[in-house]
Amino acid sequence: MTVRPATRRATAALFTAAAVLATSACGGSDDDSASPGASASPTVTAVPVSTDGLPPVERGAFPVRIKHTWNQAGTVIETEPKRVVVLGMREQDSMISLGLKPLTLRNYFGAAHPWLNFPWVPESAKQGDYTVLYPPTRDSKTGKLSEVDDGPVLANGFAQASNTPVRKEVFDYERIKSMNPDLIVAMFAGIVLEDYRKLSEIAPTITMVSSDSKDYFSSWQEEVLALGKIVGRPNYAQQQVAKMRQLFVDTENAHPELRDASVAVAAPGPDGQIRIMNPYAPMSRFFTSLGMEFPARIEAATRYTGVSRKMYSIESTVGNLSFLDNVDVLVWIVGHDGGPAMDKIKRTSAYQNMKVVRNKKVLELGPDEAEALYYSSLTSLPWAIDRLVPRIVGILGDKAARDRVAEEQAQRAADAAGDLNINYDPSASPTPEPDPNADPNADPNADPNADPNADPNADPNADPGADPNADPGAAGTEETPAP
């Protein structure tokens, strides 16, 4: 494996990255075309599509039109891409599982935590020649550039962005052009319109594919299906999405206590504050995919306001920790470097007095675990299920017992009622028991009270008191008087 960093920066604290993500969307760039301090562009070799264990490109897969945030009519990809530049934070993870190794990588949490070192990344993905991108950001108010190397940046108020950033990533367009890409992918990103226009002059560019056109709100399903079309394997991608969904279903069925269990997800901030995660954020969707539910109060607090959804969280103080209480599981996104911030919160009386804390219903996500949920890919999600579900089930032990008691009570109530489904109709006639000695050739519509010796040809309307020997022609005639 060869990894070429675009620039090397100081290590960024994970908890800061998590907290930043919790407040916002990522931005794109100004008109800047050069990253300060960037070294000369290295020679970049092609990274071919891997076909090991994967189906070939499907017939009729190209050309394909991909609709996305900055081109609702759709960007057309004519042929199978071979040289893909990734600008989003996590596309490479699912791209690998669909058979394509990109030219570039983004480390979600910076140089200190490279994606290639995470435990769910397959060995085949590590055999490649990658360039890791660390675009700096520009403050929209001061114009100052900051050399950062971690994840999504603070956002609020830039008119061109679908979710308006205060700090915008500044991409080196000339450097990207020097890589000679035949496709640029920026799905899990905050690309502004000006970025899209400049990138599209270099190669066909795919931006955000969220159904509501919000940065960092695309689901893993949306991304995988779009990537499947991009690499010419749409049916294979659908199959992989179906398998992943079934894995969640099978896990829920194996652990029914997960079903309807209430959950809240939060991250510690660097200054003692708390960020409460939106139920639609990638890390939150992991828990709802297992059948768990967010309380209505969190759903209400993070729903759409005006033209945009509150991005990932609401920020509050430790004094409002009760907002997170009274759930079956409270999840804290701590990560690699969030320990000091989490410890600061733990020392407060507000935290120590929470019912979930006293009842030991807290799940802290440390190294690798938080990132697995942030990446939320076909490779990281199975790893996260194996790693986290046993811990969640352990926390839900008393809920499992309560569920069993409720089920037993319901069964006893059914047994006491005879377990019969009674639908009484007072006007209904009983169905007679069949006569085992009945003539099988008998008319089923015959009158059971009829005289067995009666003439079968007799008039059913005849007067039963009439003379049977009387002239039938005389019946009903009047006597003619004599003249």
Q: How far is it, in rounded angstroms, from Cα 237 to Cα 378?
A: 10
Q: Tell me whether strands 129-132 and 104-105 are parallel, antiparallel or unpaired.
A: parallel
Question: How confident is the model at residue 8, as a pLDDT?
Answer: 30
- Single-letter amino acid code for the residue at 333: I
Q: Which stretches of the chain drop beneath a pLDDT of 70?
A: 1-53, 110-111, 139-141, 143, 146-168, 212-216, 303-313, 400-401, 404-408, 415, 418-483
Question: How confident is the model at residue 281, as a pLDDT?
Answer: 79
DSSP state of 362: E
Whole-structure pTM value: 0.72
Question: How confident is the model at residue 306, as a pLDDT?
Answer: 46
Closest CA to 179 of 44, 6, 81, 86: 44
Please say whether the beta carbons of 54 and 99 come within 8 A: yes
Strand segments, DSSP code E, in 140-253 are 145-146, 167-169, 183-185, 205-206
Q: How far is it, in rounded angstroms, from Cα 170 to Cα 363?
A: 36
Please say whether the beta carbons of 194 and 30 come within 8 A: yes
| Burial group, residue 371, by CB count within 10 angstroms (0-12, 13-18, 19+) | buried
**pLDDT tens digits, one per residue of 69-120:** 899 999 999 999 999 999 988 889 888 888 788 999 888 776 677 888 899 9
Tell me the C-alpha to C-alpha distance, in Å, between residue 151 and each of 24, 33, 218, 441: 11, 20, 16, 86
Question: How confident is the model at residue 42, as a pLDDT?
Answer: 35
What are the residues whose beta carbons fall under 8 Å from the beta carbon of 26, sequence distance 6 or more?
89, 151, 152, 153, 155, 163, 165, 169, 189, 190, 215, 216
Question: How confident is the model at residue 19, as a pLDDT?
Answer: 32
Question: How confident is the model at residue 211, as a pLDDT?
Answer: 78
Partners of 365 in beta bridges: 333
Geometric angle at alpha carbon 10, from 101 and 130, rounded to 5°: 15
DSSP state of 262: B
Domains (range + CATH), the chain: 2-243 (3.40.50.1980), 247-404 (3.40.50.1980)
Question: How confident is the model at residue 106, as a pLDDT?
Answer: 85
End-to-end CA distance of the chain: 136
Q: Which two tokens stand for residue 465?
A: 């008191």
DSSP state of 8: -
Q: Which two tokens stand for residue 449?
A: 């009270």
Q: How many CB atoms lie within 10 A of CB 197?
A: 11
The H or E element containing residue 67 is strand 64-68
